[in-house]
Amino acid sequence: MTGRSLTLKALALSLVVFASPVLPVAADTTGKASIEDFSKIRIGGTDVSQSTLDNGLQVVVIPDRRAPIVTHMVWYRVGAADEEPGKSGLAHFLEHLMFKGTKNTPEGEFSKMVAQVGGQENAFTSQDYTAYFQQVAKEHLEMVMGYEADRMSNLILTEKQVNPERDVVLEERSQRVDRSPAARLSETFDQVLFPNSPYGIPVIGWKDEIQSLNKDDAIAFYDKYYTPNNAILIVAGDVTSEDVLDLAKKTYGKVEQRAEPGPRDRPHVQIVPGNREVSLQSDQVAQPSLQHGWIVPSSTTAEPTESEALEVLSDILGGGVNSRLYQELVIEGEMATSAGAWYQSTALDDTRLILYTSPKDGVSLEELEKKALSIVNDLLENGVTAEEVERSKRSMLASAIYAQDKQDVLARIFGTALTTGGSVDKVQTWPARVAKVTPEQVQAVAQKYLTETSVASYLMPAAQAENVE
Amino acid sequence: MKAKVLMAASASASRLTASLFALMALSFLIVASFAQSSQAIEIKEVKSPGGITAWLVEDYTVPIIALNFAFAGGSSQDTDAKLGVTNLLSTMLDEGAGDLDSQAFQGRLEDLTMSLSFSTGRDFFYGSFQSLQANKDHTFEMLRLAVNEPRFDAGPLERMKTQTISGIRRSLKRPDALAGLTLSKTIFPDHPYGRPSRGTEDTVSKLTSDDLKAQRAKIFAKDSLKIGVVGAISADELAVVLDKVFADLPENGDLVEIPNVEPVTDKNVHVDFESPQTSIQFGLPGYKRHDPKFMSAFVMNHILGGGTFSSWLYDEIREQRGLAYSVGSYLVPYQHSALLMGSTGTRPDKAGEAIDIIKAQMERMAQTGPTPAELEEAKSYLTGSYALNFDSSSSIARQLTGIQTQGLGIDYIDKRNEMVEAVTLEGVREVARDMFDGIEPTFVTVGKPLN
């Protein structure tokens, strides 16, 4: 559903913008709010609490009293990158199957109960985590906690349920990937960018491997990873920490540990020599485009200050219409219709920084690529200005206040961080760390990571593409 | 349900995409989310000395202000020759205004950490603004400039035309977008609603700054202006802001009258397209927002193919047969027509089966209707989900504006629950018979040739 995927996109976007507590921010005479004030913000506010139940379930509560609703999420520290070779797509397939009922709850009952109270529910899988959530009026929190706790240990699957659901996933793959040239090339790009790392394998899985997944695979994965000591409960909304903890003990507290998943040591990303390029030509491509990708550390694998500096770097380089790439390629150079860059800071292992752009009619990919890389090189050689750094920091930190406006965004920020090696404290003090980033640090991370040869990707229309209309 | 986050795609979203999302959500509001209130949201009607009216929900919890507004007259006001002009106008208001050229204006928006975006629907032109409370004097000035003094300079105009054309080309290569364009054209063959809102490559390439000025003069007027405001601002403060931003607009717009139109049914259009999946979209006549039967139709649609994972279409097509990842239907109440639309996507050899199932479920709805239990569950969902539509300042502001554009009254939020509760089994069966009995929807398929 397009609405749904847009929602996820917007929410995931906020993973790099973070939220804040209620804190008035003063403006100076030019209307600019001060970085100093922003830096004092604690994301999620001063009432965020954390604890751990006897069975190992971690509990995080983020009070937000504006509307009588709660966002209830369970995050598992397992994602597609934890799958065994040959079983790609299993984490995501199990996510679908988690809606098929338990020994106590027939298929559909949980969803029906959520629907009856006008709640929303969904689930999502990434390389590093799998999460389930409901948003309901606060009086229904115990109900959803009860059902979610039940499916943490009592899932039952039959062939009759598993087989059509596998067809659904194959259709999902068709819809998201196979019918889109850009998405197909993106899979190839990831594969080449991340040698030796499961991050190169698509979350949804390779088609032939999805086709071979079965009930036993799903149950084995479930038994290994869906255990309270591998999960995090996050509740944001009109609740107190005490109430949530009481309810958590009554519901999740009864779930026994079934396994000890152990450390998440995956094969490490390798930087391999040589020029790596991928390309795809199709008559379904309307506009050519190109990407360059570099392997960079995540907030988990980075040295102190590096991840925040990379965030500022990607913002200055390509974070919006005022960024260098947009300004120089789209506005001044009049060579491109779009241009930008992004950095995925939340990941358990090393991650990526991506540059992308799409040429105007009459401009070749080669020409545009040359210019785009010269913008990167200029930054490597000459660094960034103090003014650029201030501007980027201000807009990143202000996003923290806007994100505060939505409790489910807040819950996701904590969930993502905690399943990728972060901590509650690290999330809360993000503004203070960003506020300290200097131009020198930005140039240093650029020189350290963007001087490696990038991986290039070219999406091109077929030579004799014909217009549909 | 069971969607997955594609991290790469997500993280690549720019700030531009974020504002786009806000606009998409706006169009959703009109269709589906007139939720009721289970708790009081206090809406004040604020009238400025200059005669501008806005609805305000004061809330100081988070130090931000969200403002949304709408003028009557969206893309249906385009002439055939200037197709896409209203959409292009929406992309140009933040590309320079007053003394600030495009670059200076965009730089100032970033310095002020505010968001400002504009969009067009078929019937309305929308604006959306968000500011930190601390910056409000400066940010409202930026809003005033964008609304009153846009520049339409040549450089940015060319850039926005190029980006728009690029988007048009891309949509002609995307099965879902292509199906949507084809469905509109088929259902409204000789009506503004049948045309692409963004225009065509040909029409957009010929648009000029004079065209934008003329279109702005037609649409931007006080007589149809609706405003919703939420956040850290008092009624007195807001009154001053309203005059500052909007009072200099002309009293009346110059809108072309759009005729009412009946959607064309019983057409089957196939577009050949090389794809591993066939996109299916369908439409047939629905009910306008003010029709007394609208609410019955709304509840009926919820059961047939609406929001939850328990709709008949979802169950038959996805759960029982695994034919599709997504399937759904929704009501589209335009000002001059009304539709029930829906969509799904399946492997090419199953497209015919999926269409047969959709038709069969409409037939079932017309013949037997829902069970009393299904009706109660639907009502329970629709009344209970109210609060979720009011979970952020910007979404509340959108609701306030949407309720006004639909002419529903300031007490609508309080009454909406009762209106859903009042829907009866007989009412649902009656609209189902009226909508589906003896009526064949128009279907569009985009994919490999049908067997």
pLDDT tens for each residue of B8-28: 222 222 222 222 222 222 222
Min CA distance, A109 vs chain B (Å)? 10
Contacts of A394 in chain B (CB under 8 A): 110-111, 113
User: A358 in contact with B at a CB cutoff of 8 Å?
Assistant: yes
Please tell me the pTM assigned to this model.
0.90
Task: Answer yes or no: is pLDDT of A8 > 50.
Answer: no
Q: Which of A5, A10, A33 sits opposite B135 (nearest CB)?
A: A33
Tell me how far apart the terminal alpha carbons of chain A are, to the nearest angstrom: 26
A125's CB contacts (< 8 A; 6+ apart) are A79, A80, A91, A92, A95, A131, A203, B4, B5
Q: CA nearest B393 in A: which residue?
A: A405
Residue A214 and residue A166: Cα distance in Å, rounded? 8
| DSSP 8-class letter at B368 | T
Residue B136 and residue B131: Cα distance in Å, rounded? 6
Question: Cα-Cα-Cα-Cα dihedral of A411, A414, A415, A419, to 10°?
Answer: 180
SS3 of residue A437 by DSSP: coil
Task: Answer yes or no: is pLDDT of A220 > 50.
Answer: yes
Look-up of token digits 């241009």: A339
Min CA distance, B253 vs chain A (Å)? 32
User: A24 in contact with B at a CB cutoff of 8 Å?
Assistant: yes
Contacts of A402 in chain B (CB under 8 A): 64, 115, 130
B274's CB contacts (< 8 A; 6+ apart) are A283, A284, B448
Residue B286 and residue B296: Cα distance in Å, rounded? 11
Instruction: Pick A232 or A463 by higher pLDDT.
Output: A232
Residue A231 and residue A227: Cα distance in Å, rounded? 7
Look-up of token digits 């920084």: A353
Q: Tell me how far CA of residue A316 lies from CA of A85, A156, A324, in angstroms.
A: 38, 50, 6
User: A34 in contact with B at a CB cutoff of 8 Å?
Assistant: no
Could you tell me if B205 and B33 are in contact, meaning their C-beta atoms sit under 8 angstroms apart?
no
> A-contacting residues of B 304-323, CB under 8 Å?
308-310, 318-323
pLDDT at residue B451, rounded to an integer:
64
Q: Which of A12, A137, A467 sits opposite B172 (nearest CB)?
A: A467
User: B154 in contact with A at a CB cutoff of 8 Å?
Assistant: no
Chain centroid to Cα A122, Å, comes to 15
- Per residue in B353-394, pLDDT (tens digit) is 999 999 999 999 999 999 999 999 999 999 988 778 888 899
Contacts of B24 in chain A (CB under 8 A): 3, 6
Give catalytic status of residue A95 as yes or no: yes
Could you tell me if A380 and B36 are in contact, meaning their C-beta atoms sit under 8 angstroms apart?
no
Residue B65 and residue B56: Cα distance in Å, rounded? 11
Q: CA nearest B173 in A: which residue?
A: A284
Binned at pLDDT 50, 70 and 90, residue A404 comes out as confident
Min CA distance, A142 vs chain B (Å)? 16
Could you tell me if B438 and B338 are in contact, meaning their C-beta atoms sit under 8 angstroms apart?
no
Length of chain A measured in residues: 469
Q: Which of A69, A337, A469 sits opposite B166 (nearest CB)?
A: A337
The phi-psi region of residue B171 (left if phi > 0; otherwise alpha if psi is between -120 and 50; otherwise beta) is: alpha
Average pLDDT, chain B: 90
Q: What is the count of residue pairs from A and B with beta carbons less than 8 Å apart?
A: 287
Q: Which of B3, B155, B380 sits opposite A5 (nearest CB)?
A: B3
Contacts of A286 in chain B (CB under 8 A): 166, 169-170, 172-173
A243's CB contacts (< 8 A; 6+ apart) are none
At residue B26, what are phi and psi to the nearest 5 degrees?
A: -60, -45
Residue A400 and residue A433: Cα distance in Å, rounded? 13
Three-state SS string over A352-416 comes to EEEEEEEECCCCCHHHHHHHHHHHHHHHHHHCCCHHHHHHHHHHHHHHHHHHCCCHHHHHHHHHH
The CB density around residue A463, as the number of other CB atoms within 10 Å, is: 7
Q: Which residues pair with A229 in a beta bridge?
A: none
Contacts of A120 in chain B (CB under 8 A): 385, 388
Residue A284 and residue B273: Cα distance in Å, rounded? 9
Selected residue of B7, B33, B110, B446 to mutate for chain A interface (largest A Cβ count, 10 A): B7
> B-contacting residues of A 417-436, CB under 8 Å?
none
SS3 of residue A456 by DSSP: strand
> B-contacting residues of A 178-237, CB under 8 Å?
178-180, 183, 186, 190, 203-204
> A-contacting residues of B 265-294, CB under 8 Å?
271, 273-277
Q: Retrieve residue A38's tokens.
A: 């922003």
User: A249 in contact with B at a CB cutoff of 8 Å?
Assistant: no
Q: CA nearest A283 in B: which residue?
A: B173
pLDDT at residue B389, rounded to an integer:
82
Tell me how far apart the terminal alpha carbons of chain B are, to the nearest angstrom: 31
User: B422 in contact with A at a CB cutoff of 8 Å?
Assistant: no
Q: Give, in degrees to the nearest 5, the angle at Cα B326 between B323 and B332.
A: 125
Chain centroid to Cα B242, Å, comes to 24
Min CA distance, A346 vs chain B (Å)? 10
Task: Answer yes or no: is pLDDT of B160 > 60.
Answer: yes
pLDDT at residue A457, rounded to an integer:
98
Q: CA nearest A12 in B: which residue?
A: B10
Q: Which of A18-32, A260-274, B40-54 has the lowest mean pLDDT?
A: A18-32
> A-contacting residues of B 193-212, CB under 8 Å?
200
- Per residue in A312-338, pLDDT (tens digit) is 999 999 999 999 999 999 999 999 999
State the number of CA atoms in the 13 A half-sphere of B284 facing the CB: 23
SS3 of residue B64 by DSSP: strand
Runs of H (alpha helix) within B197-267? 201-206, 209-219, 235-246
Closest CA to A199 of A191, A209, A188: A191
Residue B61 and residue A198: Cα distance in Å, rounded? 43
A382's CB contacts (< 8 A; 6+ apart) are none
The amino acid sitting at B411 is: D
Runs of H (alpha helix) within A132-206? 141-150, 159-173, 181-193
pLDDT at residue A377, rounded to an integer:
97
Name the catalytic one among A83, A95, A121, A308: A95
- Per residue in B80-102, pLDDT (tens digit) is 999 999 999 999 999 999 999 99
pLDDT at residue B14, rounded to an integer:
25
- Per residue in A118-139, pLDDT (tens digit) is 999 999 999 999 999 999 999 9
Residue A38 and residue B285: Cα distance in Å, rounded? 52
User: B40 in contact with A at a CB cutoff of 8 Å?
Assistant: no
Q: Tell me the DSSP string of B137-149.
A: HHHHHHHHHHHH-
Task: Answer yes or no: is pLDDT of A23 > 50.
Answer: no
